[in-house]
């Protein structure tokens, strides 16, 4: 059984103006997401600026999301690291705190070999009992999980059950699902490819778009899985201009700006990320309004 089916939000980590994590606003964002149809909370992923959180902040964000969600939807904790021992420590703590699953990004910068990836994921999986989602995002990490590697891990390690596929390579995703023969759940890691990956057998999306359009992102998946492929496709295509603006600068720069424009107080970014360029902000505002999102000002 899948950890979740549908649209999981790769939720931002809201910050105060002094740069501290705004845990109270994180609770409000969790409520907003669940009230608007999000199927899972994915906390401390790339969109959550996990790379600039201390380990203490990282675990506290995960605990906050788990407690606030209170079993209403599954919570998937981003606990990956380019250090295997750090990933094990974070994942063990997330399991202790009640996470339903963990999202483990490939080791960035180290650029592990395929054998290294197998050893990395196996070591983390064997340290806990909760299910793991592998996170394949080569554009960020410089490291790609080959389809054969993902399938080998899923077939040989009981609690490696899913992959967030964000390579952008549809051919790779197709090969993965062909080799898997049903042994792995695939989530789209790209908002502009939700429908294509669902058509290959995917079960949902881990989404940046869901931060600002939770209901619509949920509906893209729900309609497809209910057999309304045309309705799903139409929603996907309608969202493309907004998705393009949400990625016109490095994620999560635009999505935090979008939330601030909606009055949802995502706050500033942590360096080395910088605030959005004014021209890009205007383009984002236009795309949000055209999509039907109400701005606070």
Give yes or no for residue 227 having a pLDDT over 80: yes
Q: Considering only CA atoms, give the Rg of the chain.
A: 18
Query: What confidence score (pLDDT) does residue 3 get?
Result: 97
Note the pTM of the prediction, 2 decimals.
Answer: 0.96
Tell me the H-state helices in 134-228: 138-141, 147-156, 170-180, 194-199, 214-225
Per-residue pLDDT band for 195 (boundaries 50, 70, 90) equals very high
Burial of 188 (0-12, 13-18, 19+ CB in 10 A): buried
Q: Say if residues 64 and 26 touch (Cβ distance below 8 Å).
A: yes
What are the angstrom distances between the C-alpha of 27 and each of 14, 56, 61, 93? Answer: 10, 17, 10, 20
Model confidence pLDDT, tens digit, residues 118-164: 999 999 999 999 999 999 999 888 999 999 999 999 999 999 999 99
| Rounded distance between C-alpha atoms, residue 74 and residue 66, angstroms | 9
Residue 1 has pLDDT above 90, yes or no: no
297 vs 146, residue with greater confidence: 146
The catalytic site residues sit at 135, 164
- Are 65 and 30 within 8 A, CB to CB? yes
For 167-188, the pLDDT digits (tens) are 999 999 999 999 999 999 999 9
Predicted pLDDT at 140: 87
The percentage of the chain sitting over the pLDDT mark of 70, rounded to a whole number, equals: 100
Given a cut of 80, whether residue 287 has pLDDT beyond it is yes
Residue-wise pLDDT for 229-286, tens only, equals 999 999 999 999 999 999 999 999 999 999 999 999 999 999 999 999 999 999 999 9
CA distance 45 to 8: 12
Task: State residue 50's pLDDT score.
Answer: 95
DSSP state string for 78-146 = E---SSHHHHHHHHHHHHHHT-SEEEEE--TTTT--HHHHHHHHHHHHHT-SS-EEEEE-HHHHS----
Say which residues have a Cβ less than 8 Å from residue 217's Cβ, sequence separation at least 6.
7, 9, 38, 191, 194, 205, 207, 209, 210, 239
Whole-angstrom distance, CA of residue 18 vs CA of residue 53: 14
**pLDDT higher than 80, residue 297:** no
Q: Tens of pLDDT along 10-27?
A: 999 999 999 999 999 999
What are the DSSP calls for 38-87, one per residue?
-SEEEESSGGGTGGGS-HHHHHHHHHHHHHHHTTSS-EEEE---SSHHHH
Per-residue pLDDT of 25-72, as tens digits, reads: 999 999 999 999 999 999 999 999 999 999 999 999 999 999 999 999
Distances (CA, A) of 138 to 58, 144, 172, 198, 226: 23, 5, 12, 21, 32
């Amino acid at each position: 059984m899948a950890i979740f089916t549908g649209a999981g939000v790769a939720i931002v980590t809201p910050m105060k103006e002094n740069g501290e994590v705004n845990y109270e606003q994180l609770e409000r964002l969790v409520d907003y997401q669940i009230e608007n149809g999000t199927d899972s909370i994915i906390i401390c992923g790339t969109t959550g600026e996990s790379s600039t959180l201390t380990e203490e902040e990282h675990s506290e964000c995960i605990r906050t999301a788990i407690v606030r969600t209170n079993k209403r939807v599954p919570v998937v904790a981003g606990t990956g690291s380019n250090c295997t021992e750090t990933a094990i420590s974070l994942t063990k703590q997330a399991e202790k705190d009640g996470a339903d699953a963990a999202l483990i990004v490939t080791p960035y910068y180290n650029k592990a070999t395929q054998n290294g990836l197998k050893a990395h994921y196996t070591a983390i999986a064997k340290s806990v009992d909760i299910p793991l989602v592998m996170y394949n995002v080569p554009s960020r990490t410089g490291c790609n999980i080959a389809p054969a590697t993902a399938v080998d891990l899923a077939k040989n390690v009981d609690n490696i059950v899913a992959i967030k596929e964000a390579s952008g390579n549809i051919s790779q995703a197709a090969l993965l699902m062909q080799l898997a023969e049903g042994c792995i759940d695939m989530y789209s890691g790209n908002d502009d490819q939700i429908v294509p990956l669902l058509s290959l057998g995917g079960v949902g999306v881990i989404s940046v778009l869901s931060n600002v359009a939770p209901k619509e992102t949920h509906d893209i998946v729900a309609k497809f899985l209910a057999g309304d492929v045309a309705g799903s496709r139409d929603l996907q295509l309608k969202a493309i201009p907004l998705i393009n603006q949400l990625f016109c600068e490095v994620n999560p720069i635009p999505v935090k700006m979008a939330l601030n424009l909606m009055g949802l107080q995502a706050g500033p970014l942590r360096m080395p990320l910088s605030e959005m360029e004014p021209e890009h902000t205007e383009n984002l505002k236009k795309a949000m309004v055209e999509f039907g999102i109400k701005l606070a000002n």
